[in-house]
Structure 1
Amino acid sequence: MRRTRSRPAGTSSVALQRGKYPFLLALTVPGAVIYGYFMFSPYLQAMWISLTDWGGYTATMNFVGLDNFRRMIADPQLLTALRNNLILLLVVPVLTLALGLFLASMINVGGRGRAGAVTGVRGSSVYKVVYFFPQVVSVVIVAVVWKYVFAPANAGGVLNNALEAIGLGRLAQLWLAEPKYLIWVVVIVMTWSFAGFYVVMFSAAMQSIPRDIYEAALLDGSSRFTTFRKITVPLVWDTVQVGWVYLAIQAMDGFALVSVMLGTGGGVEGAGDVLGVKVYREAFTPPNNFGYAAAIGVVLLLLTLAVSLIFMRILRRERVELA
């Protein structure tokens, strides 16, 4: 009779445990490599091009080191674009998030139902659709529509004609022809187009807050503003933080909106220019300078990363959880 050697208990499970790692690596590594190549290689190529004088349509590419970055210091239009991006970065997130929180609060806890129950205002489901509508419209369409809103009265400008219709014609301005107004026009349009998304996002976060908390606070004599500041904001703060970082990234772009509304020149005297439009203009407007455009793009990338990290650090706070 042939004697078989018995294996210790658990040997087979250990072998299976060891065998699963090569299997998992074989499944994940090829996809990770392909994703990493197509994700990071454009960044590396842009960084290399930023160190050259490549024109984009020529075979020659001479290494110039940091000359493109030194050129930025003496470029007044670049400084204008950077200033405008900083204005968008500081103003648009504040206005958008404040408006989004207020509207979401009204939609979810702004009304009173039977027996004093806290509910949303009447027609809240309709308001959500209305506020979210700009998100399903192309940025190009948004820019074209608002370009006509701010157009002169004789060109069918909605805003100036409305001001004249209500007897405030003295407030009518050539909004898109005055350099001092251009960046603030962009701020208004960005806030309008972004707010609806954050209304819906904050509404989803507020729906997880028990209504009993609001009702108890109101019974204790707390005002609506107090409950908003002491209950709503702390309990949706994680969502606010995510929205703030995302809005900061959007504010550092603005290419599509500005290029359609104000043109690739940044409007009158380039007063509405932003870094994204500056990159496009340097790369595709003669004399084409892809090297300088890539250098501006690298700076834009680094600024966006730095802003995101700073915002995440500043907005970090202790998490409030419901028992």
Structure 2
Amino acid sequence: MHIQQAPENPAETDPVGKNPFQLICHKFRSDLAVPNVTGVGDVMMYTRLVEEVAMRYGRPINLLTGPIQPTDGVGALKDEEPFPIWRGNPFIGQIFDLAELSPESMTLVNASHERHCHFGHIISNICAEYGIVPRAIRPSLFLTEAECRDALLKLSRLPRPVLCVHPYGTSSPKVGHPWYEDEWHRLLSSLPPTMSVVEVGVHGKEDKGFSNKRFRTTIREMMALVWASDMFLGFDSSVAHVATAFGKPAMVLWDPIRKSEIDTEPGMGPAAFARWSYPQNKNLMLLGESQGEIRRIAIQWISDVMRSIGAQY
């Protein structure tokens, strides 16, 4: 990662205009400080802010953050690298480990997460604190040439198109819900043999025993496999954010009951869809289904995507 020195006094040359952590940034000669919690997807939401700020400065920025540390083990990996979301990002000159430099400052930055105005998508909510309107509502993620090539080679023997599925997620349905397992079996068994299905999951943590090709990955390996696939179908999760970042056709399933159970602060559960869903995706609520309606919509969506890329269903 190329190292670009920050201005002597960012406050004097700051084209952004707002920075809630200006004093912390000035102390450590950096431009921006962002959280390293609560989950992998949460950290991804700050990648758009980094790109927007770098474009305002007209140079790669120096970033203060800590090694990714999902709260309650959400998305935590045993052998994961410290900054998987940020590697390869051309908008970053240098990363300074704020958790090591100043644990109390890292705690302060992390405490700001989710305390912004929740008027729209979380990317817009975050950027608004800096006086920025984001140019796109999607994460800003980057892979290396080697990572892309390796992912393509891993999928090279599979018939195209390739559907990447992720039937997991913090807010996905619990055991007993049709979409915990049964509807996935029915959906996958209905797909034509002319296409392939690959499943990505976190190491050995997630495995429902589906018969499709399965990859247990690190975060970076997961990102590359999603990039190398033709489309994505899964629950709201970090994998869905990756698919959106790379512009893949994506169908995302939402369980509003689970969202309300997790987001217990008044109003946050009902607001989850507006805050986390992307309008460019096909978003479906798992609410009131009784006759396999969601599965049929998913099959039709897959068929439509296949036709759009010149494949036969």
- Give the TM-score, by structure 1 length: 0.23
Normalized per residue, which structure has more helix? 1
- From the CA coordinates, give the structure whose radius of gyration is larger: 1
